[in-house]
Amino acid sequence: MIRWRDPRAPLAAAGAAGVVAFAATLLAGGPALLTGAVAGGVAALVAAASLLGVSLRSAEHRSTAMAARWMGGGAVVWAAGVALRSVATSFVVGFADLFVLLGTVIIAGGALIAADRRFPAKVVLRHLTDAYLCAASLFLIGWVVALRHYYEDTGDAPTFTFAMVPPMIALLVTCGVIPSVLNSRAGSWLLGLAGVGVLATMTVGGLSAAMARLSGEQPPMTTVMLVPVALLLLAAVPWGPRARPVGGPVVRNVVAMMPLALVAVAACTLLAHLAGSRAAQPVTGVVVVAVSVVLLLLVRLFVLSAASIRLRGLVSLGERQLRELAESTGDVVLLCDYEGVVHQIGAGVEVTYGYPPEDLVGGSIFDYIHPEDVPGIQAAMRAMTTDEEGAAPGACMIACRVRAADGTWRPTESVATRHIGGDDLMLVTTRDVSDEEALRNQVAHLTFHDGVTGLPNRAYFEERTREVLSGRTSGNVAVIFLDLDGFTSVNDSVGHASGDYLLGQAARRLRGAVRADDTLARWGGDEFAVLVETGGDAQMAVDMAERLVRAVSQEPFRVADRDVALTASVGVAFTEDGLPAGDLMRNADVAMARSKELGGRRVEVFAAQMHADVVRRLELAADLQRALIEQQFAIEYQPVVDLATSRVTAVEALVRWWRGSVFVPPEQFLGPAEDTGLIVPLSEWILREACREVAAWRASSWDIGLSLNLSARQITAPRFVETVEQALAESGLPASALTLEVIEEMLVEDAEETIKRLSELRALGVRLAIDDFGTGYASLAFLRQLPVDMIKIDPSFVSGLGRDDTLTLLTRTIVRLGHDLGLTVVAEGIERPEQLELLREMGCTRGQGFLVARPMAARGVDSLMRTSLTV
């Protein structure tokens, strides 16, 4: 359904048509010129009013508004000329024709403005030439058909010429406007096309009026009414539905061929006329027109030939430049037909593939392409000739392998395009991409393989595990995680390069311990992972894990001219129905961590309890941090007494944690606090609080000391010594009243740094004690290196006093050793009276335990101080 742009436009057009019809009816019996003048004037006024309204409404569209104003003005001028010509006497006929011509030219200018086309000077000259050829050809055809008879009847050349000049000028203008409008893509294209229609009817009407004037008759009413009808259509077009331009390659070709076609028709018409008519005196004007057409046509053909030669030269130059550019980049350029026969090939083929060019010309490219790639290339070549829609693509990409002269297959990438010189040839540019292919393969390998060991890396292992689990239909799948125990010390002692060399050796040993179908990967650092498809035999995975442990520990590794002995902690996890790959790998990692906690060099199979323990430890660590912020910790003090006098000489500060209303034993939270590093701020708080309490008791004339246990992380903290010094200064506690206890294992690990820190404390005046003496690795050695003030006998020795002769003897030896070295000896864990009596009999000076006094809060110690100084 057509929708008008303005609802009033159909009414206006209908009214205008009614006016014209009424006027024609009234004047039907009158002269045709007068009838045409009235009808044309009314139609011209309607068109002018309509176009004026369009120009006002489309002010923002400059080209449309200007074209409408030009056409409206031209219609008014033309109507004035027609009116003058219909009523004027013979002496003013030329003046009226000037008005008609001026209106025609103005309408033509409006049509050109509506087309919105701008041309360089050369193109304008070509359009004018084509317009002249078209107009002259149509004149010659009209001359042969009818105009010569009017000329013969008139017998007056000036009169005939004067009558024919206005319609011929109109015809020339119309022929000049038509190509621009038909090739236009502007939005006002339809307005320009309506203008061309008006020009054509004006030309026909003018020619009809001229012929009637020459014959002395009235023109036919049909030709007289053409122009008014065309003007009414011009008035209605801007208010009607929009139409898309139809310009395109086909229209451009038709328009370009129009002048030559008309010239050909005119030539055939003239030849037929000359061949079939009697000889007559040639008319000079007609001869001039015919000769000018021939000369212009020759000039036009010469220009076209020169342009064609120039274009062919540019095409040849472009092909040569393209070939040189391709060969300068290492590409091989060749021409071949669609059967694969080589017609021409560049010299670069000898450099790239080792073939002389002359040996390949005339041969088939398929003789040098890998047989597996030939069908695909043939299909691509067939597609270049025609596709499913009947239009062949202009180019295609081809990837294939080409055999070089040395027999190797080179990966190549080629671009095949139609040769401009003819559709029977293809221009192929081929590039050897062997280096790019090798680089891509190397990048892909590095993406999924470890650079140190050459094994698949973590990304590959995770992807492979997901792939195996997603495609598993039956049988067990196991994941084994392995960690090298003590590997960090290798990097610290002999360097990371030697550490990487050791990892390479370990990878080779592990590869020899797994099956060919299993996936061995380096997980990261000193950890390795194995994906095992057991096929239902779970014991096989456990046996393999045992082999991995033996492979690592069976003999030392040779690194940096020294032997390095390592062990391995191994965890095994089996898949379950619905278990994601990530959870399976996590379970194996948890089992490996459990193996490491139990001392290493062992295999642990994952159990659900392990994961629960890990979760609890994580939750506990989070609660520990919250407890520090909310000050949920408390300190209890266990008295240390002189066994001879039962006098309290010191107290040992012990931390306690009430998790809400639940008491958490120290052995449950001190380990996680050590692992997470929270032990450092916790120990600093204990140090400050205990120093403050003991300093207050000493201010009450109670000569009492303070003992505190040190953790490994606390000793290695950056400002540990400064923290102790600051706590003593803030509390006022003398340094000699503070005893810091360390266990022997802490002295063994990083012994040099630990002894340095403890020596700095000793220099402050702080007393040092070795806790749990007798259970470590190098007690006597460190007694010699470190100035210790006290040793504390481990409760495991005290518990056997009076029951185990060996433990009794060892305890007696430790007491005697302490006396000989001048150290204070403290026995821990005294719980039975016979233990107390034996320790007194051995000469042990001090002791602590539940028999002596249980740990108590600060207010309990205050009560003890007020009532008695002994227990």
Q: pLDDT of 74-89, one tens digit each?
A: 888 888 887 777 665 4
Is pLDDT larger for residue 277 or for residue 767?
A: 767
pLDDT grade for 43, boundaries at 50, 70 and 90: confident
Task: Name beta bridge partners: 565.
Answer: none
Distance CA 544, CA 536 (A): 14
What is the reported pLDDT for 23?
Answer: 45
Res 93 pLDDT > 80? no
pLDDT grade for 31, boundaries at 50, 70 and 90: low
Is pLDDT larger for residue 585 or for residue 7?
A: 585
Cα 181 → chain centroid: 47
Res 262 pLDDT > 70? no
- Residue type at 12 in one-letter notation: A
Is pLDDT larger for residue 538 or for residue 287?
A: 538
- Three-state DSSP state, 96: helix
Distance CA 48, CA 106 (A): 13
φ/ψ region of 522 (left if φ > 0, alpha if ψ in -120 to 50, else beta) reads beta
pLDDT grade for 274, boundaries at 50, 70 and 90: low
β-pairing verdict for 527-533 and 557-559: unpaired
Res 362 pLDDT > 70? yes
Distance CA 283, CA 157 (A): 9
Task: Name beta bridge partners: 458.
Answer: none
Q: How many CB atoms lie within 10 A of CB 832?
A: 17
pLDDT digits (tens, 9 = 90+) for 557-579: 988 888 888 999 999 998 887 78
Res 464 pLDDT > 80? yes
Distance CA 86, CA 30 (A): 12
Least confident segment among 280-294, 453-467, 792-806: 280-294
pLDDT digits (tens, 9 = 90+) for 673-722: 887 888 888 899 999 999 999 999 988 888 899 999 988 888 888 888 99
Task: Name beta bridge partners: 662.
Answer: 659
Distance CA 841, CA 838 (A): 5
What is the reported pLDDT for 157?
Answer: 75
What is the reported pLDDT for 391?
Answer: 47
Is pLDDT larger for residue 280 or for residue 38?
A: 38
Check: CB of residue 540 under 8 Å from CB of residue 534. Answer: yes
Question: CA dihedral defined by 636, 840, 833, 697, rounded to 10 degrees?
Answer: -20
Q: Identify the H or E element spanning 261.
A: helix 249-276
State what percent of residues in the chain have pLDDT above 90: 20
- Close Cβ partners of 774 (under 8 Å, ≥ 6 residues apart): 793, 794, 797, 810, 814
What is the reported pLDDT for 81?
Answer: 81
Distance CA 674, CA 680 (A): 8
DSSP 8-state assignment for residue 635: E
CA nearest 164: which of 214, 233, 234? 214
Mean pLDDT of 268-290: 64
Mean pLDDT of 731-741: 91
What is the reported pLDDT for 412?
Answer: 92
φ/ψ region of 631 (left if φ > 0, alpha if ψ in -120 to 50, else beta) reads left
Q: Max CA-CA distance within the chain? A: 168
pLDDT digits (tens, 9 = 90+) for 164-210: 888 888 888 888 888 887 777 777 778 878 888 888 888 888 888 77
Task: Name beta bridge partners: 707.
Answer: 652, 739
pLDDT digits (tens, 9 = 90+) for 594-623: 899 888 889 998 887 776 777 777 777 788
pLDDT digits (tens, 9 = 90+) for 467-516: 888 876 556 789 999 999 988 888 878 888 888 999 999 999 999 999 98
- Match 């393999």 to its residue by tokens: 544
What is the reported pLDDT for 640?
Answer: 92
CA nearest 771: which of 740, 799, 743? 743
What is the reported pLDDT for 867?
Answer: 62
Helices (H), 420-457: 434-448
pLDDT digits (tens, 9 = 90+) for 793-835: 889 889 888 888 888 898 898 899 888 888 899 999 999 999 8
138 is written with which tokens? Answer: 């149509």
Res 323 pLDDT > 70? no
Mean pLDDT of 259-280: 63
pLDDT grade for 281, boundaries at 50, 70 and 90: low
Check: CB of residue 411 under 8 Å from CB of residue 399. Answer: yes
Check: CB of residue 363 under 8 Å from CB of residue 343. Answer: no
Mean pLDDT of 295-319: 76
Is pLDDT larger for residue 854 or for residue 386?
A: 854
Please tell me the total number of residues recorded for the chain in this structure. Answer: 871
What is the reported pLDDT for 547?
Answer: 93
- Measure Cα distances from 402 to 4, 352, 360, 371 in Å: 66, 11, 13, 10
pLDDT digits (tens, 9 = 90+) for 765-789: 999 988 888 776 555 666 666 778 8
